[in-house]
Amino acid sequence: MNKFIAIVGSNSKKSTNRELLKYMKKHFQATAEIELLEIKDLSLYKKSADEYVPQEALDMAKKIEASDGVIIATPEYDHSIPAVLSSALAWLSYGIHPFVDKPVMITGASYGSLGSSRAQSQLRQILDSPELKARIMPSSEFLLGHSLQAFDDDGNLKDEKVVKQLDGLFQDFVQFVNISKQLNNANEVNKQKAEEFSWEKD
């Protein structure tokens, strides 16, 4: 059984993105083991002369590296991902590179009708950066709009069409992960390139 890390891309105590990941953990428990990771306790990213990385980020990196894949749920603020998620990804690419060639599924929930579509597009660009080099599942947007009304009292998604779409995308992700395990011939070189990359070099 695959083991996935699910990152809650918000520091809100009542995030519907957390609700979505909790639902996925329960709903897909027969298919995969999903562990939720919170980023709300990470300090804001800041470069230092000694290249200090918080222990919380190091612990997260170990779990990501040991996983078969990562699911990220992001809200959308002003057509972009939250600052807390951007900061967490910066820590997770500062001297450590757990995302290199790691299969990633992007999801998102928002109160409006668009379901974090622009934030997801931005997140794809970030994950594709030289310092992260994640392997993002293509053509796979899961956009949960009107998320405050999307769940019942037991935390289940109410709309059967939405559940069917999520089921299909998750099955695709499992297949994507299994295929990705056979596509790691350049992984060692890719990690080395991520470690050596610097925007300051010519």
| Domains of the chain by start residue, with CATH | 2-196 (3.40.50.360)
Please state whether beta strands 32-38 and 135-136 pair in parallel, antiparallel, or not at all (unpaired).
Answer: unpaired
Q: What is the pLDDT of residue 70?
A: 98
Whether 123 has a pLDDT exceeding 80, the answer reads yes
Rg of the chain over Cα atoms, rounded to whole angstroms, equals: 17
- pLDDT, one tens digit per residue, over 84-104 is 999 999 999 999 999 999 999
Greater model confidence, 160 or 190: 160
State how far the Cα of 124 lies from the Cα of 33, in Å rounded to an integer: 24
Report the SS3 class of residue 6: strand
Residue type, 110: S
- Distance of alpha carbon 124 from alpha carbon 129, whole angstroms: 9
Judge whether residue 107 has pLDDT over 90. Answer: yes
Looking up tokens 């769940």 gives 151
- CA gap 185, 142 in Å, rounded: 30
